[in-house]
Structure 1
Amino acid sequence: MDYNFLKSLHIIFVVSWFAGLFYLPRLLVYHVEAQEKDAQAREILSKQFEKMEKLLFNAIMIPAMFLTWITGLSMIYLTWWDSFGSHTWLHLKLCFVVGITIYHFVCRHLIRKFRASEFILTGGQLRLFNEIATILLVAVVFLVIAKNTFDMLMGMGGFIIFAIVIMAAVTIVKKIRSNA
Structure 2
Amino acid sequence: MIYLFLKALHVISMVAWFAGLIYLVRLFIYHSDALNQDDADKSILTKQYAQMSLRLYKNLCNPGMMLTWFFGIAMIAHNGMEWFGQNGWLHVKVLLVILLTVYHLYLKKVMKSQANNENKHSGLKLRLLSEVPTVFLITIVMLGIFKTGANIMYVVGGMVLLALIIYIGIKSTYKN
Percent identity between matched residues is: 36
| Matched residue, 2:127 | 127
Any unmatched runs of 5+ in structure 1? none
Q: Deviations over 1:133-154 (max 9, x none)?
A: 1111111011100001642333
1:33-44 superposed matches below 5 A: 33-44=33-44
What is the match of residue 27 of structure 2?
27
Q: How does 1:104-123 map to 2 (within 5 A)?
A: 104-123=104-123
Q: Which one-letter code corresponds to 1:5 in the other structure?
A: F
Query: What is aligned with 2:59?
Result: 59
Consecutive aligned runs of 4 or more in structure 1 exceeding 3 Å deviation: none
Q: Is the 8 A contact 1:96 1:140 kept in 2?
A: yes
Q: 1:159 to 1:37 in 2, by over 3 A?
A: same
Partner of 2:98: 98
Q: Which amino acid aligns with 1:13?
A: S
Cα pair 2:46 2:117 within 8 Å, conserved = no
State the AA in 2 paired with 1:171: K
How much does 1:63 deviate?
A: 0.9
Per-residue CA shift, 1:98-152, capped at 9, x if unaligned?
0110111111101111112211101211000111111111110111000016423
Inter-partner Cα distance in structure 2 for 1:152 and 1:10: 21
Residues matched between the structures, number: 176
Secondary structure at the residue paired with 2:168? helix
- Is 1:151 the counterpart of 2:151? The answer is yes
CA contact (8 A) 1:36 1:42 kept: yes
Q: Which runs of 5+ in 2 are unaligned?
A: none
Matched AA of 2:70: I
For 1:150 and 1:142, the matched residues in 2 are separated by 13
The two structures have a TM-score, normalised by structure 1, of 0.93
TM-score by length of 2: 0.95
Q: Decide whether the 8 Å contact of 2:27 with 2:49 is kept in 1.
A: yes
- 1:174 deviates by 1.0
